[in-house]
Structure 1
Amino acid sequence: MRNFASLKAKQFTESVIREMSRVAAAHGAINLAQGFPDFPAPQELKEAAQRAIFADHNQYAITWGSKPLRDAIVWKTQRDYGVTWNPETQLTVVCGSTEGMIATLLATINPGEEVIVFEPFYENYGADVVLCGATPRYVTLKAPDFSFDFEELAATFNEKTRAIIINTPNNPTGKVFNKKELEFIAELCQRYDALAITDEIYEHILYDDAKHEPIWTLPGMEERTVVINSVSKTYSVTGWRIGFVAASAELTASIRKVHDFLTVGAAAPLQMAVAEAVRFEPQYYEELASFYRERRDYLLKVLQEVGLGCVRPQGAYYIMADIRPMGWDDDVACAFHLAEKIGVAVVPGSSFYRPEQPDSHTFIRFCFCKKMETLEAAAERLRQWRKK
């Protein structure tokens, strides 16, 4: 019998991040691999979901999102960035940022075109580009500050470039792109008539006076940027799968068509609940950043004490750690050793790089979106690793 797997599917693997969660469960390891909190979501948000269910918001919402949620997103965007989107023509509520990204790429990218991706990258990006029949072109973010070479990026743009994907604050590095970098990217997008597709899911998780600068607020970028976001990280509800995509009316019309046939729509009662959360006061976001800053600083200290070479993140809730000071040169072997023998699950850094990238096997990624008791238990196991 012939092999019925498609040529596209053969070009990438299943998620390594999710695989490491399965490995953690199999070995009873503390899961510092997959980025989901192990603490409760906000009480107000859970109560809002209950109210929505008992108010019978249990049937299909409008496929591109319930009006209360779209209106709330518009309100928050105006408050935070001074930009007003049209909720009827510029917003699409999707099943998490994961669906938002693939829906956007399928709606805007043609086979044979190229999409620029910064590496290390969130693992879905490369696979999504392949599923569109396009070619990913990679530009490396270089440790220790994960900056990029302006000349390298400029040389990567060409007449086939359809879009560039920007994730800021960045997973897995914690890098926050600064205004100078974004202005350079914006100029290239306009010169080559390319889209900027920006994943801003960690917009409120920032440290050390880092500032989130949306590229769509820069001159000339509003009409050529697609904004992808989600409530998963900001409100600690990664299992709800509620996200949104914002773009020009023309791009939104295309994205909505793809979204409709991918998923029909996101969960109706959860949309109603999220509409309330989106209107939380600024204090909520300040406390969120402070909450994660404490955990970042704690885990950084532990990892440095153990002997790993750590990169201090400016945002998001991950730490990339260099394994070479501990005598390792194989990130996959190191990750499985930690899960199986030490009892701490992490993600091998190579899952965020092209296979041929020289730096791809020198990092492992830790996440710290956990209770302090979880991180303290992991710290004790890691210290035992150091002793051994």
Structure 2
Amino acid sequence: MAFDEKLPNVGTTIFSVMSQLAVEHQAVNLGQGFPDFEPPEVLRDALSRAMADRKNQYAPAIGVAALREQIALKTERLYGHKPNPDSDVTVTSGATEALFCAIAALVHAEDEVIFFDPAYDSYEPAIELQGAKSIRIPLQSPEFSIDWQRVRDAITSKTRLIIINSPHNPSGAVLSRSVLDALADIVRDTGIHILSDEVYEHIVFDGAEHQSVLRHPELAARSIVVSSFGKTFHCTGWKVGYTVAPKFLSAQIRKVHQYLTFSTFAPAQWAFAEALQNNPELYLELPTFYGKRRDYFRSLLKGSRFKLLDVRGAYFQLADYSAIKDIDDVTFSDWLVRESGVAAIPLSPFYQSPPDARLIRFCFAKSDATLIAAAERLCSL
């Protein structure tokens, strides 16, 4: 019987494919972006207490009040913008759910959504499910910067949303204040909203400050910011994220959220509320924590034939492998895991039209032992 698929071009994600290959070949997995070390002990203890205290039933759909208040205080402390915890903060089942809810809430059939390649792979399917059109603009090499004239040229009367991502996955590029000023100038006097994917907000290196759109009052008034506790506290499997947005946008997000997951893992919400209140160093020290891992991994690969690109944020290292093999990145990644026992992520699946480049992505959110084992294999190529 014929079946009309809603997502005919969507298959298994490259992350799942490479992780499965890593298992099959007993490879060191530097592909999928998750830490191989445990969350902080104080957070795990807080989770256990929450469960022991019988906080195991449905949380409020918008999130536990204590957590929303701590998110609001943290946002004010970091970015000078204090959202109303009751109307502007919504706790979600991971950042990917938050992204989907935002797109589903704002985007209508025939609308257009602008975002930048390479891009996280959940954006486009969420847009397609609304019957809308993705307008993908490539970032400029080698800095992965935005060509603002191309953005201006791409805007039409159907443009509903622009998605930005900083620190950027997969490149590690970081947006500056001047970039936000340029974005504000473009959307001023329009009905275009901004969806800002800031899941790596606390992982910015070399003394830089994360430039959240929440630092920019004009943009904050029309933006949805998405954050991730999983990325911040090394617990991606807990699947807790949140959005910060003005009341009128949050209200629309909540309409979708309540019929998608309704509410999010309650004990974890109480644990995060406790950690944010009592242990702010857990996120304030992340630049140093991951900066050391970045530098250590790069030092381990000095003797390799990979050319390493600069990393300004997030926990990914892009590497040019053209001195090793002249083949496409998907084929190289497959060869690498099978022949050398290291799993990486090719860059081309992040693009609509991949450039002629020889780049793969390594995740350095790993233990020293994992990074050493991977580097020994990579340096032998």
With normalisation by structure 2, the TM-score equals 0.96
* Contact 2:118/2:138 (8 A) holds in 1: yes
- Report the more deviating stretch, 157-166 or 213-222: 213-222
Query: Matches of 1:122 and 1:152 in 2, distance apart?
Result: 20
Matched AA of 2:112 = E
Question: In the alignment, what sits opposite 1:153?
Answer: 151
Residue 371 of structure 1, CA deviation: 0.3
Question: In the alignment, what sits opposite 2:50?
Answer: 52
* DSSP-derived class of the 1:152 partner: helix
- Percent same amino acid at aligned positions? 39
Residue 192 of structure 1, CA deviation: 3.2
Residue 326 of structure 1, CA deviation: 2.0
Residue 304 of structure 1, CA deviation: 4.8
Residue 305 of structure 1, CA deviation: 3.0
* DSSP-derived class of the 2:160 partner: strand
Question: In the alignment, what sits opposite 2:320?
Answer: 322
Query: Matches of 2:148 and 2:309 in 1, distance apart?
Result: 21
Are residues 1:63 and 2:61 paired?
yes
Query: Matches of 1:296 and 1:241 in 2, distance apart?
Result: 25
Question: In the alignment, what sits opposite 1:343?
Answer: 341
1:308 to 306, 309, 318: 306
Query: Matches of 2:29 and 2:119 in 1, distance apart?
Result: 21
* DSSP-derived class of the 1:139 partner: strand
- Report the more deviating stretch, 87-96 or 8-17: 8-17
Query: Matches of 1:192 and 1:323 in 2, distance apart?
Result: 43
* Contact 2:81/2:214 (8 A) holds in 1: no
* DSSP-derived class of the 1:10 partner: coil
Residue 5 of structure 1, CA deviation: 5.0
Residue 187 of structure 1, CA deviation: 1.5
Question: In the alignment, what sits opposite 1:222?
Answer: 220
Residue 65 of structure 1, CA deviation: 0.5
Question: In the alignment, what sits opposite 2:293?
Answer: 295
Query: Matches of 2:212 and 2:223 in 1, distance apart?
Result: 10
1:78 to 69, 76, 79: 76
Q: Which runs of 5+ in 2 are unaligned?
A: none
Distance 1:56 1:138, change over 3 A: same
Residue 82 of structure 1, CA deviation: 1.8
* DSSP-derived class of the 1:239 partner: helix
2:116 to 115, 118, 123: 118
1:379 to 356, 362, 375: 375
- Please list, as runs of the form range in 1=range in 2, the aligned pairs for 1:98-247 lying within 5 A after superposition: 98-247=96-245
Question: In the alignment, what sits opposite 1:358?
Answer: 355
Query: Matches of 1:61 and 1:282 in 2, distance apart?
Result: 23
Query: Matches of 2:88 and 2:370 in 1, distance apart?
Result: 41
* Contact 1:27/1:343 (8 A) holds in 2: yes
* Contact 2:79/2:214 (8 A) holds in 1: no
* DSSP-derived class of the 2:11 partner: coil
* DSSP-derived class of the 1:326 partner: coil
* DSSP-derived class of the 2:59 partner: coil
Matched AA of 2:15 = I
Query: Matches of 1:71 and 1:95 in 2, distance apart?
Result: 18
- Report the more deviating stretch, 168-177 or 152-161: 152-161
Matched AA of 2:179 = E
Query: Matches of 1:117 and 1:280 in 2, distance apart?
Result: 37
Query: Matches of 1:153 and 1:329 in 2, distance apart?
Result: 32
Matched AA of 2:72 = V
* DSSP-derived class of the 2:49 partner: helix
* Contact 1:157/1:192 (8 A) holds in 2: no
Distance 1:325 1:182, change over 3 A: farther
With normalisation by structure 1, the TM-score equals 0.95
* Contact 1:173/1:320 (8 A) holds in 2: yes
Query: Matches of 2:276 and 2:121 in 1, distance apart?
Result: 27
Matched AA of 1:379 = A
* Contact 2:305/2:379 (8 A) holds in 1: no
* Contact 1:176/1:211 (8 A) holds in 2: no
Question: In the alignment, what sits opposite 1:332?
Answer: 330
Distance 1:343 1:5, change over 3 A: farther
Aligned length: 381
Which consecutive aligned stretches of 4+ in structure 1 deviate over 6 angstroms post-superposition?
none
Residue 345 of structure 1, CA deviation: 0.3
* Contact 2:325/2:332 (8 A) holds in 1: no
Matched AA of 1:380 = E
Residue 240 of structure 1, CA deviation: 0.5
* Contact 2:233/2:282 (8 A) holds in 1: no
* Contact 1:159/1:192 (8 A) holds in 2: no
* DSSP-derived class of the 1:278 partner: helix
Distance 1:303 1:119, change over 3 A: farther
Query: Matches of 2:16 and 2:130 in 1, distance apart?
Result: 23
Question: In the alignment, what sits opposite 2:259?
Answer: 261
